[in-house]
Amino acid sequence: LYVVDLAGSERADAHAVRTARADAIKKEGGSINQSLLTLRLCTRAPPPPPTHVPYRDSKLTRILQPALAGPGRTAVVAAINPAPSQMNETHSTLNF
């Protein structure tokens, strides 16, 4: 049984002030987005035998490979916000 709490996707703020901290946050956001993209690619791979599933492209998917590649089941709980101002984020979460 694996229980994983994923970070939400990170979007760059166009009005963010350039500081060392802001650069570190932007780099961390890029890493989070890359891990989420790799997880998405692994979960959407065709049924066996696939040509290539990118489990090794992310530390997250390397850890979860036994759960993702096996005959198990996966459940997802998504936290979304119904506010109209959050429509794009909610849509992105539901499409994951």
pTM of the model: 0.69
Q: What is the dihedral of CA 58, 16, 94, 90, to 10 degrees?
A: 160
Three-state SS letters, the chain: CCCCCCCCCCCCCCCCCCCHHHHHHHHHHHHHHHHHHHHHHHHCCCCCCCCCCCHHHCHHHHHHHHHHHCCCCCCCCCCCCCCHHHHHHHHHHHHC
Domain ranges of the chain: 20-95
Instruction: Check residues 63 and 17 and name the one with the higher pLDDT.
Output: 63
Q: In CATH, what class is 20-95? A: mainly alpha
Where residue 6 falls among pLDDT bands split at 50, 70, 90? Answer: confident
Task: Supply the pLDDT for residue 7.
Answer: 79
